[in-house]
A and B are shown apart, each in its own frame.
Chain A
């Protein structure tokens, strides 16, 4: 009985997504373009799933389409849908329950496994994430050294096939660290060193073999090597998770051996290697502004201000949070970077256009620009500030999505129970 109610609830949410692509003119809103610019009292029209017009005129006169529904958004804010560039969404439901975990495959080198295959469109977590404005998310396999292929997903859909925005965006690599640590449970300094060296040999072997394999395509197919084909042509991106300063440098240099420009994920020590990153044109997926400094002596606000350090150095970056349900706080992590030095509209860019650029989908996603996808939302307040953020309505590629989730349903249910649902 309970179960059927649950299923019913979920189907309502998803049913909403199958609606027609709408033709809407939003008028009078503060439009946050996503590229760092802001239009006060602007107008924007969406139709057939894309943005067909955007204007900063004082009235709706500038855009006239009698077939369109007009939404008066005066005093409200329109934002592009936020993009979570690195998540476990759809691959994890309950962190502590093994049966619900689908992000870690056995083995160290798994370039052939694909996140979207496990992606659960009906995860209860997803609706709570999009309620805060995150409408697109990368879902990434984790574990081992080469973890697999990630895909960019729309956070609404019937199944992984129609939810996928871009399949197999890139291959992910956890860079074996050169950082030597000591603790009662730590292996010896020598062992740590030799393990890392071994991993580098394995990695080089994998990449060398894969490159050679894809030049001639031998009869006996190797799934792992085949999965890496597009890496060498640049069609697929290489994402390398590296935090320690020396690891970042090593990961970039390693990629260069194979003609690849990687995207560095995590990059906690990015502030120590700014020039190197700049010289090599490296983009960063910066994780967890809301974290503790790595080192006791670090500036206490280092994680908060790291984005502004990258911003001021002109290094392309986008913001990310590790995990699944946590993605709903992505806007506030961006907000924190704004409190610590990034101009507000640029902080928004770090979770919209910059993410789209780094993931290679900026032609169609990431900003409110004519011709791009109509993936956007209306908020009554500052989306990056929890105090005022309130997402009223949202559209993915022109179709409105429901913002209800199991949590606000429970809220309503119990407010009613206590008779305080006014």
Chain B
């Protein structure tokens, strides 16, 4: 209630900008009528309506009328705008205007678990929802001219710090007192995935940020339901107070939009997005969620590609992004995705108009561009009755331009009007003095003077006695020109002649001195008006520049221009390793249709099926990697707390990771992507199929059982993390056990608390139990709805976890790594655990000194369902070889060895009803090999998932050629553009993180 009042008050003040104010005046009251008539202008009332010649009347900061009639009432200051264009003032939806900078002091050396901030706020400093831009805004912190010079009249301003960032304010870019500039004090709420200046450890990963957002929403709800009965928390209160706000979610990649949208769907809220500028890479998928996106116009610079070797360091993705990024706004417009434009990604906002023109050149229509800068933001912020178009009663916010600001390089903004006040941008040249003048009087060393160039940047030349060009240095201000030149040496700066003149009609009249120092009079008549020079090869240049390469799915090397589709096919005459009975079929066909294996037998006929000759080749089911960390972005570990059961690897999938393709080429079709092993209870796993080209959600194995990563031993007790990391509990294997017992005990108590509460009568229901994502996950384990894959090495700890599980009446589904599994194989069998191990890794830390390569064979022989996994992006490319090592070390049969990387992991992941063998009705996830897959000489020729050929060794060779060709084309294009003087950047190699279990990193801070 209070808030709405306040809001109304601000609007009222807004309406009476110059009339009444609360603060005292120093001096006499200087109240101006501020009535202006801008006549004979070409006026864009809004993005869609253009009046060729009209007058705009403003009074007291408001628009009185726009009319095509000529009569102007008395009392108005008349401003002639002939040949000028008036556009509604631009709105920048994403700035930090008027807010002081945040200092980011980086992470503390010692871990910080709980916020050190004074006051009753959220436990995590990255949740800053209580922040209000309005309480910190002051025009003195920023320079409004920077924005005005680019046509902006209103900005949304917010603090770009933290995950929940509090509220923004919509402010006018005038130079009034702060109080008079506020259009909306609570314009929007802001969020991001980045923790910003918070020095707390948590969250250290993208998935941690997502979990924090989700838990905060749940906590806010809990606080609301139990108001006054539970803790006081200003941050959570603020989330509740901002419920009806517009919410702007800043992302750093197009895939982040899908991640944030998932949160929005869960909590039934709407986000609009501050995009990253690479939205064009996923238009079809974006179209499905139909977002509103604020986009910056920061286009990559050319790379220095002159050096052949250094140029090789730039990836195809970077090269293509350089070419296509300027087409991002056009791509969104063509797909009818609503977007707003902002200066926010630019190093210098003064680059905005240039980049805007570039976007227009790359296909963005003027109408879309103007709309994105005016009415779309006005509608989004709910202020389209005040700004965003030029109509009676609205704020007099507009720009006067010398020409078409979206298209003409030479067009400039002459003045930006905000609340009826003019802020001059390019003052001098309201008169166009350009043209050719014949000297009619005086001997001045040249017979004519030509003035040309941009209105803001005039240049002059003359003609010498010998008919050659003479350069003249010229200054123009307030209808007066001064010139200096020397016809004898043609040096513009140290001239014999110094001339001044004024413009009278079409004449220049003035005086000057020559080398003799005597003053003379001179005059010249304009004989030709200025015309924009026509650059001879401009259309050709433009056509060359605008010849754009296609978007690849995914947007990386080995992407394809079309998303790959399932095919009906017969694989003929293969030697088939079925993993069923019989284990080997020779010269047999397999028919695949609709993504499934539909028939296995001899001489299968199907007229409409593609036939793949597999004579002499081997067909197997696809390799399943139980332990992988590929295709994960921004952190594989949320290792900041002992228990992070709330985080989900599935929230941080990177579907564009080249390792997906590389592993397809090694025959992998399904992978379990695990959280790292930095803490006893890590995050939830994601089981994916390697569907190259799809987006993250489409990679997920539909209907797969949920899993979670646990970890034991040196990593979780931080043995190898350095001397500073000795404060987080646990530091011993004894402590690790207690973490589990504690977590499961809490979960049980949580469950009974919830059950008891549910049983209470409505009146007895006082304080509801807090919904806790971490405990919910633990509960799923206890209730056998989520399954553990536990990183483990030595027998003592393996034994321990089985005991913990037994005491809580559940089973440890899988021990992964499990290098000493062979020592407790009998116990594992009795418990019912699966084993997923390395073939022969050891000696990399103390706890793996008793690892032996016979492990998989012993476990298998004892009767434990055993798999061999990779935990490594490289090794996953040849898991067939790793399986073969179980023949060498432990003499398993070929069939037994092969199951280690196919059927056995399928069983332990509970997906063997779908994959893991070649059987009618199962998914068509198969690999065609050139020879026996267990030999070192084996190579996949085709890797098929759901009947889609995702890897084909022949297509691969074509793609290599395509990559080379496309790179060369782009490099040549860069060289061409560099010749035209485009600025460039160094070619460097981008280090990309490859994850293993124990990789800790903190890349979420700004």
A residues contacting B by CB (< 8 A) are 93-97, 124-125, 179-184, 186, 189, 244-246, 269, 272, 290-293, 295-297, 299-301, 324-325, 328-329, 332, 335-336, 338-339, 384-390, 407-408, 410-411, 414-415, 418, 420
| Residue B312 at the chain A interface, CB threshold 8 Å | yes
Which B residues touch A390, using CB under 8 A?
Answer: 888
> When the two chains form their complex, are residues B844 and A411 in contact, meaning their CB atoms are under 8 A apart?
no
Residue B934 contacts which of A387, A415, A420 (CB distance < 8 angstroms)? A387
Q: Which residue of B719, B844, B1003 contacts A95 across the interface (Cβ within 8 Å)?
A: B844
- Interface: B345 (CB within 8 A): no
Q: Contact at A414–B858, with CB atoms within 8 Å?
A: yes
Beta-carbon contact of A385 and B844 below 8 Å: no
B990's nearest neighbour on chain A, judged by CB, is A182
If A245-B312, A325-B842, A418-B858 touch, does A410 touch B956 (CB 8 Å cutoff)? Answer: no
- Bound-state CA distance A182–B845 (Å) is 31
B152 at the interface (CB under 8 A from A): no
- Contact string against A for B residues 991-1003, beta-carbon threshold 8 Å, 1 for contact and 0 otherwise: 1101000000001
| A300 neighbours in B (Cβ, 8 Å) | 558, 661-662, 665, 956
Inside 8 A of A332's CB, which chain B residues have their CB? 881, 936
Q: Which 4 A-B pairs have the closest CB atoms?
A: A96-B845, A335-B936, A183-B991, A411-B854
Q: Contact: B884 with A94, CB < 8 Å?
A: no
The reply to whether B845 and A295 form a contact with Cβ atoms under 8 Å apart is: no
Q: Which residues of B contact A336 (CB under 8 A)?
A: 878, 936
A389 and B888 contacting across the interface, CB-CB below 8 Å: yes
Q: Determine the main DSSP class of A at the interface with B.
A: loop
> Quick one: given A385-B935, A387-B888, are A292 and B874 in contact (CB under 8 Å)?
yes
Q: Which residues of B contact A244 (CB under 8 A)?
A: 309
Known: A300-B558, A301-B665, A385-B937. 14 other contacts (CB 8 A): A182-B990, A186-B991, A292-B874, A295-B989, A296-B557, A297-B557, A338-B936, A339-B937, A385-B936, A386-B888, A387-B888, A389-B888, A407-B842, A418-B858
Pick the residue among B844, B889, B932, B937 that contacts A335 (CB under 8 A): B937
Chain B residues contacting A386 (CB-CB under 8 Å) are 881, 884-885, 887-888, 936
A-B contact pairs, 13 of them (CB 8 A): A93-B843, A96-B844, A97-B846, A181-B989, A295-B313, A295-B989, A300-B956, A324-B843, A339-B937, A387-B884, A389-B888, A407-B852, A411-B822
Which A residues touch B885, using CB under 8 A? 386
Query: What residues of A have a CB within 8 angstroms of the CB of B967 in the complex?
Result: 297
Please, what's the 1-or-0 string for B256-287, where 1 marks a CB less than 8 Å from any CB in chain A? 00000000000000000000000000000000
Query: Which residues of A are found within 8 Å of B845, using beta-carbon distances?
Result: 94-97
Determine the residue in chain A with the shortest Cβ distance to B889.
Answer: A411
Q: Is the CB of A296 within 8 A of B862?
A: no
Least CB distance, A200 to chain B, in whole angstroms: 17
Tell whether, in the assembled complex, residue B843 and residue A296 are in contact, meaning their CB atoms are under 8 Å apart: no
Q: Which residues from chain A contact B315 at a C-beta distance below 8 Å?
A: 295-297
Does B227 interact with chain A (Cβ within 8 Å)?
no
Determine the distance from Cα of A300 to Cα of B353 in the docked complex, in whole angstroms.
Answer: 42
Q: A179 to chain B: which residues have CB within 8 Å?
A: 313, 989
Q: Which residues of B contact A296 (CB under 8 A)?
A: 315-317, 556-557, 658, 992
**B858 closest partner in A (C-beta):** A414
* Chain B 302-326 interface 0/1 with A at a Cβ cutoff of 8 Å (1 = within): 0000000110110111000000000
Q: Is the CB of A325 within 8 A of B843?
A: yes
Which of B822, B840, B937, B986 contacts A180, CB < 8 Å? B986
Main secondary structure of the interface of B (DSSP, over half): loop
B375 at the interface (CB under 8 A from A): no
Min CB distance B932 to A, Å, is 8
A181 touching B988 in the complex, CB below 8 Å, given contacts A297-B315, A336-B936, A338-B937:
yes
For B992, the chain A residues whose CB sits under 8 A away are 296
B825 touches A418 (CB 8 A): yes
Is there an interface contact between B991 and A181, defined as CB atoms closer than 8 Å? yes
**Chain A residues closer than 8 Å to B932, beta-carbon distance:** 387
Minimum CB–CB distance for A85 against chain B, Å: 20
Cβ contacts under 8 Å, B826 to chain A: 418
Kindly state the separation between the CA atoms of A139 and B249 in the bound complex, as whole angstroms.
55
* Residues A418 and B888 in contact, CB atoms below 8 Å apart: no
The chain A residue with its CB closest to the CB of B989 is: A181
The one of A125, A299, A301 in contact with B843, judged by C-beta atoms closer than 8 angstroms, is A125
CA of A105 to CA of B887, assembled, Å: 41
A387 contacts B935, C-beta separation under 8 Å: yes
When the two chains form their complex, are residues A414 and B822 in contact, meaning their CB atoms are under 8 A apart? Answer: yes
- Cβ contacts under 8 Å, B956 to chain A: 300
Give residues of chain B (634-667) contacting chain A, Cβ–Cβ below 8 Å.
658-659, 661-662, 665
Q: Which single residue of chain A is at the shortest CB-CB distance from B991?
A: A183
Contacts of A299 in B (CB 8 A): 960
Residues on the B chain within 8 Å of A291, using CB: 874
Q: A96-B844, A295-B312 are in contact. Are A180 and B988 (CB under 8 A)?
A: yes
How many residue pairs at the A-B interface have CB separations less than 8 Å? 155
* Cβ–Cβ < 8 Å partners of A387 in chain B: 884, 887-888, 932, 934-936
Which A residues are CB-close (under 8 A) to B852? 407-408, 410-411
Mask for B946-979, Cβ within 8 A of A = 1, else 0?
A: 0000000000100010010001000000000000
Whether the pair A246, B936 counts as a contact (CB closer than 8 A) is: no
Q: Chain B residues near A329 (CB, 8 Å)? A: 840
CA A106 – CA B861 in complex, angstroms? 48
Within 8 A of A (CB), among B648-691: 658-659, 661-662, 665
In the bound complex, how far is the Cα of B558 from the Cα of A184, in angstroms? 26
**Residue from A125, A324, A388, A410 having most chain B Cβ neighbours under 10 A:** A410
CB of B720 within 8 Å of the partner chain = yes
Pick the contact of A411: B556, B714, B858, B989 (CB < 8 A): B858
In the bound complex, what is the Cα–Cα distance between A389 and B935 (angstroms)? 10
Shortest Cβ gap from A189 to chain B (Å): 5
In the assembled complex, B160 has its CB within 8 A of some CB on chain A? no
Asked whether, in the complex, the Cβ of B843 is within 8 Å of the Cβ of A418, the reply is no
Q: Given the complex, which residues of B lie within 8 Å of A182, measured CB to CB?
A: 988-991
- Most chain A Cβ neighbours within 10 Å, of B310, B658, B989: B989
| Chain A hits for B825, CB < 8 A | 414, 418
Query: What are the interface flags for B886-903 relative to A under an 8 Å C-beta threshold, 1 for contact and 0 otherwise?
Result: 011110000000000000
Q: Which residues of A contact B583 (CB under 8 A)?
A: none
Q: How many Å from the CB of B205 to the closest CB on chain A?
A: 14
Please, how many angstroms separate the alpha-carbon atoms of A283 and B828 in the complex?
A: 51
Q: Is B853 located at the chain interface by the 8 A CB criterion?
A: yes
Q: Does B823 reach chain A (CB closer than 8 Å)?
A: yes
How far, in whole Å, are A142 and B890 apart by their CA atoms in the complex?
A: 35
Distance between B899 CB and nearest chain A CB, rounded to angstroms: 15
Q: Which chain A residue shows the least CB distance to B316?
A: A297
Is there contact, CB below 8 Å, between B939 and A339? yes
Residues on A with C-beta less than 8 A from B854 are 407-408, 410-411
Residue of A nearest to B998 (CB): A96
Which chain B residues (819-863) contact chain A, with CB distance < 8 Å?
822-823, 825-826, 840, 842-846, 849-850, 852-854, 858, 861-862
User: Is B661 in contact with A181, judged by CB distance below 8 angstroms?
Assistant: no
Q: Are B884 and A246 in contact (CB under 8 A)?
A: no
If the complex has contacts A96-B720, A290-B878, A387-B888, are A183 and B937 also in contact, measured as CB distance less than 8 A?
no
Chain B nearest CB, measured from A101 CB (Å): 12
Closest Cβ–Cβ distance, residue A7 to chain B (whole Å): 15
Write out the residue numbers on chain A whose beta carbons fall within 8 Å of the beta carbon of B874. Answer: 290-292
In the bound assembly, the distance between CA atoms of A290 and B662 in angstroms comes to: 13
| CB–CB A411/B890 < 8 A | yes
Complex contact B849–A189 (CB within 8 A): no
Most interface-central of B310, B826, B937, B939 (chain A CB within 10 A): B937
In the complex, A180 Cα to B991 Cα: how many Å? 10
Chain B residue nearest to A186 in the complex (CB): B991
B886 to chain A, nearest CB (A): 9
**Beyond A292-B662, A329-B840, is A96–B989 a contact (Cβ under 8 Å)?**
no
Q: How far is the CB of A5 from chain B (nearest CB, A)?
A: 13
B309 touches A94 (CB 8 A): no
Contact A189–B988 (Cβ < 8 Å): yes
B347 to chain A, nearest CB (A): 16
**Of all chain A residues, which has the CB nearest B665?**
A300
Check B873 for interface membership: any CB of A closer than 8 A. Answer: yes
